[in-house]
Amino acid sequence: MSSSRLPAFSLALVLGAILAAGNVVIARRVAPELLALPPVVAWIAGAPVLVALVLAAVLHRPAAAPVAAPAPPPPPDDTPALRLLAALQADGRLVDFLLEDIEGYSDDQIGAAVRGIHEPARKALRECIVLEPIIAGREDEQVAVSEGLDSGAVRLVGNVHGDPPFRGALKHGGWRATAITLPVRRGQDERVIAPAEVEIA
């Protein structure tokens, strides 16, 4: 028994003894002949002590150990996205193009810039990710969408009603990545998409 529970049991024992003594005093005045019977004496004197000790034990149960909160999930790993972006920047300078303010350029200038960016960025994307169309076909070609539709892979638009299979015009075939091979950037801060360059004269 822990030392912290001893005062509670001592108090219970004292209170039980007081009640037992009171029972004996009352029994002597009301029915003294009952005190000649050992079972009656045991009940009158012992029951209050026993009840007090049981109550002390119940009321002073140790508190349950606190349940540890589950560990928070680890933060998402954003390095794969940064590696892909770095590859598109390194080969096609795609980040430079997307962040450039093109309002002051003519359509011909923009078209020429896009032509210079398109092929290197396309090559970098194909080296990093193998893509395949979710639905093969040409734009506006009639296609069928059967039962078991994956709403995350196929989005139905327009006048959608009834049950599959659905038929409609293909507006975009979608893309699904089938393989990913990102360049490893050893010894470099993953958040550096492209290092600054300073030419020393």
List the chain domain ranges: 7-59, 77-128+178-195, 134-174
Kind plus residue range of the DSSP H or E element containing 201: none
pLDDT digit string, tens, across residues 79-130? 889 999 999 999 889 999 889 998 998 989 988 889 889 999 999 999 999 9
Evaluated on CA atoms 10, 11, 14, 16, the torsion sign reads negative
Return the C-alpha torsion angle 154, 166, 172, 103, nearest 10.
Answer: -90
Per-residue pLDDT reduced to its tens digit, 39-59: 666 666 677 667 776 766 666
Q: pLDDT at position 23, please? A: 65
172 or 15: whose pLDDT is higher? 172
The pTM assigned to this predicted structure is 0.56
The whole-number pLDDT of residue 127 equals 92
* Rg for the chain, CA atoms, rounded: 42
* Residues 128-158: tens digit of each pLDDT: 999 999 999 999 999 988 877 787 899 988 8
Burial letters 103-120, b for 16+ CB under 10 A, else e: eeeeeeeeeebeeebeee
